[in-house]
Amino acid sequence: MGPVLDITADDQGWLMQTANHAPLTQEDFLRALKKTEEQLAELQRQLGERMSDVASLIFDAHVLILKDPGFSGEMLNRISQGVAPGQAVCDVIQTYVALFSRSSNLTLREKIHDVRDLGLRLLSNLLMHTAENADYRGRILVASDLLPSDILKLSAQRAEGVIMLGGGVTAHIAVLARSLCMPLVILKESFLTEAEKAQGAFVILDADQGNVLVNPAADVIQQYHSLLETRQASALLETDVQPVTVTRDGHRVRLMATINLLSEIPMAQRVKAEGIGLYRSEFPFIVRKDIPSEEEQFRIYRKVLESMPEHEVVLRTLDVGGDKILSYFPVGVEANPFLGQRELRF
């Protein structure tokens, strides 16, 4: 909870317009390309250290797109033919956005965010433009069309939470927000009046229930304060959790954790879970543009197993199909996709 701040300004439009009129050269583009690759490598490193998780693979996919001859190679080809570097970047980005937007596959349409993210980063590096490193401590931010790198930036700038306008949450945004413990709620349209925006209305962002409360009454604020205090008190009780669970009438019960992301393992360890009853192995596949290599899967599964020495760990076979579609794997027509080619049959 906290005062709201609207940050829906069109940085993309400003960058594109400025880059199109800037006197830039092919050498400037090559410098920006190298800088972009270095930034993506640093983002991968930081995420790997913070989460050691599938979220770090998101920017690995960005590197693959960046190095694709049909992406940066096409930009360089246009520049060599006399097109201004800024215009070349914008043209190729728009080509890919149009291509993905025509797809009937939701996951492919989400790739629009990846190419836009890369385009903005390339344009920023072309102009050597660095956005102000704001401090959003205690603020609830309102934004639209968030990109994966935006979530990382807002987390570093200590935002309390984010309200995203005008669309559904993408797989990448969802994975990153959850891994970074960033409360996120999606709304179809703006919920603030111009006066509320100007005055910085007080907002309660309830990401658990998916509710946004604007200028709530004092008793509602108090209820949420009580809820937060209860959560903090329950966290202090973690040290009192016993390693073995027994019912009051003496029956032994094993309490195990369900893990979606490796970032959830520390919590399972703190509350002394007696193993992992289910690790959902599909996440490394969902956030990628291709099947993760055996080595990449091995590293993730090893971390899961090493997190629970002496305890049982269950790794579920790959659960794709139905509502979990891989953009890079063709899906055939099935009478019931939820009972179709999944797991071992895949």
pLDDT tens track for 216-252: 888 888 888 887 787 777 777 777 888 889 999 999 9
Q: Which amino acid is at 273?
A: A
128 lies in the same domain as 196: yes
User: Which residue numbers in the chain have pLDDT < 50?
Assistant: 10
206 lies in the same domain as 247: no
CATH number at residue 62: 1.10.274.10
Last residue of a domain, one of 178, 205, 236: 236
26 lies in the same domain as 168: yes
73 lies in the same domain as 191: yes
119 lies in the same domain as 255: no
For the whole model, what pTM was predicted?
0.53
| Beta carbons of 205 and 160 less than 8 angstroms apart | yes
pLDDT of residue 279: 92
76 lies in the same domain as 212: yes
Last residue of a domain, one of 187, 217, 236: 236
73 lies in the same domain as 109: yes
Sign of CA dihedral 141, 185, 233, 225: positive
CA distance 191 to 212: 9
Last residue of a domain, one of 236, 264, 295: 236
Q: Which residues pair with 274 in a beta bridge?
A: none
pLDDT of residue 156: 67
193 lies in the same domain as 171: yes
Domain encompassing residue 197: 1-236
Instruction: Please name the residues in contact with 316: beta carbons below 8 A apart, sequence gap of 6 or more.
Output: 278, 279, 280, 281, 343
274 lies in the same domain as 229: no
pLDDT of residue 313: 96
227 lies in the same domain as 300: no
From residue 266, alpha-carbon distances to 50, 136, 273, 303 in Å are: 12, 27, 10, 12
34 lies in the same domain as 106: yes
Number of domains comprising the chain: 2
247 lies in the same domain as 231: no
pLDDT of residue 226: 83
